[in-house]
Amino acid sequence: MKSFSKRIEKLVPSASMSMAEKAREGNATQEIIDLTWGQPDFDTPVHIKQAAYDAISAGKNGYTPAPGIPELREAISNFHASQYRTVYDPSSEVLVTPGAKQGLMYLLQLLIDPGDEVILFEPCWLSYRDMVFFNQGIPRFIPANNDLSPDLNALENVISPRTKAILINNPVNPSGYVFSDEELDSIAGIAEKYNLYVIADEIYDRIVFTGFVSLSEFKNIRERLIIVNGFSKAYAMTGWRIGYLLGPARVISKVNLIHQHTATCASAPSQYAAIAALTGDQGVVDHMVITYKKRRDVFADALEYSTFNLIKPQGTFYSMLEIPETLPKYASKSDFLLSEYGIATVNGISYGESAKNYVRLSLTKDAEILMQVADRLLD
Ligand code: PLP
């Protein structure tokens, strides 16, 4: 047999999916509590599902315009403007994608030539590394500070003539960190100074417990910034595969070429559902965010005096737990937690060297279950 492409060799399986698999295999001594999955434990709100049923019943089941149905692009533009006072032209600066992940992949395909570099702050979502590799680029990781906050001071040091883009995720999966206004301003200034693109994955922008500033509010980088967002997290629509990009027409029109020749368009019923999500009652999102915040607080309070240090997230539904010591027989921190405590988590090292003493917990379980997790850890 002829070999596969060289670029596929660099991809590794998703650590969160592998760990979820191990959790399903179980443990002989206790019931496993699975905190691996980055998926809301809420169902998609009823009015959003209804909009999809209605679209399907009305026969809106064909291909749509590649960049998305105009009503959805308009709804996205209006919604973004209402949140962040920044207007993107729905006809040329908005592209609807089959999930935020696909939008990210398109952008890397657009920007990277073999050997080009993309800067990432550790700890960062594990798919970025593989996506950059798959596009024959080189991820340049910036190690985090001790508290896992991003080290902005190191940013200029990793820039090289091959640097194409800074990819930031705000709020951060896995740490729940939310970048400050000053930090974003500094990133924007550096991107301008070195003529770099900035890809801002803001998929968790609605799940925040303090304030949130979007990079789109920094007008000085409008021509070099692309915002990635989607419906999976805020509206509990992970399976609907619907997201979007916002950026200058020059970028969006090129991304649309990749999109036309690969996905064609995002799923039509999902697009109608997304309109209902943005134009309908936002109380459904508030309810989920309040719940995530309560869980975070209950869990952080319970672990306050434990030997495990929890980094209290400012956003997302994740948090990082420091595991100082493990028994030598365990290959990883998450194997240790799974075997000794029956808690399935994702190894911190999957998100970068700086997080090697941590595991990521997804707090997408009821507060009572999180209390059981805390009880086991305190035992
Ligand atoms: N970006 C980040 C940081 C994520 O954590 C995820 C999902 O876990 C995605 C993007 C993917 O989102 P989507 O479901 O819209 O593809």
- CATH for 62-279 is 3.40.640.10
Region 294-320: mean pLDDT is 95
pLDDT score at 25:
74
Q: pLDDT, tens digit, for every residue of 146-199?
A: 999 999 999 999 999 999 999 999 999 999 999 999 999 999 999 999 999 999
Give 78-113 pLDDT, tens digit per residue: 999 999 999 999 999 999 999 999 999 999 999 999
Question: Is-contact 355 320, C-beta < 8 A?
Answer: yes
pLDDT of residue 20: 74
State the pLDDT confidence band at 29, using cuts at 50, 70 and 90.
Answer: low
Distance CA 107, CA 93 (A): 14
Sheet holding 318-322, edge to edge: 309-311, 318-322, 358-362, 346-347
Report pLDDT for 22.
Answer: 75
**Most confident range, picked from 105-114, 302-311, 316-325:** 105-114
- Cβ contact 309:302 at 8 Å: no
Res 24 pLDDT > 80: no
| Structural domain boundaries in the chain | 6-43+283-378, 62-279
Cα–Cα distance measured from residue 302 to residue 366, given in angstroms and rounded to the nearest whole number: 14
Residue having the nearest C-alpha atom to atom 5 of ligand 1: 173
Task: Tell me the residue type at 32.
Answer: I
117-123 average pLDDT score: 98
247 Cβ inside 6 Å of ligand 1: no
Residue whose C-alpha is closest to residue 38's, from 21, 17, 23: 17
Q: What angle do CA 14, 20, 26 make, to 5 degrees?
A: 145
> Residue 51: how many CB atoms within 10 A of its CB?
21
Asked whether 40 lines ligand 1 (CB < 6 A), one says no
Which residue has its alpha carbon closest to ligand 1 atom 11? 101
Q: Tell how far the Cα of 321 is from the centroid of ligand 1, in angstroms.
A: 21
Mean pLDDT, range 232-255, rounded to an integer: 98
Query: How many angstroms does the Cα of residue 206 sit away from the middle of ligand 1?
Result: 13
375 Cα to the center of ligand 1, angstroms:
31
**Closest residue by CA, ligand 1 atom 12:** 100
The alpha carbon of 203 and the centre of ligand 1 are apart by a number of angstroms equal to: 7
CB of residue 238 inside a 6 A radius of ligand 1: yes
- Report the separation in Å between the CA atom of 173 and the middle of ligand 1, taken as the mean of its atom positions: 9
Q: Chain-wide mean pLDDT for the chain?
A: 95
Q: Which residue has the higher pLDDT, 287 or 37?
A: 287
Tell whether ligand 1 has an atom less than 6 A from the beta carbon of residue 243: yes
Q: Which atom belonging to ligand 1 lies closest to the Cα atom of 39?
A: 8
**Any atom of ligand 1 within 6 Å of the Cβ of 270:** no
Residue 266 has pLDDT above 70, yes or no: yes
- Architecture of the domain whose range is 6-43+283-378: Alpha-Beta Complex (3.90)
Q: What is the pTM of this model?
A: 0.96
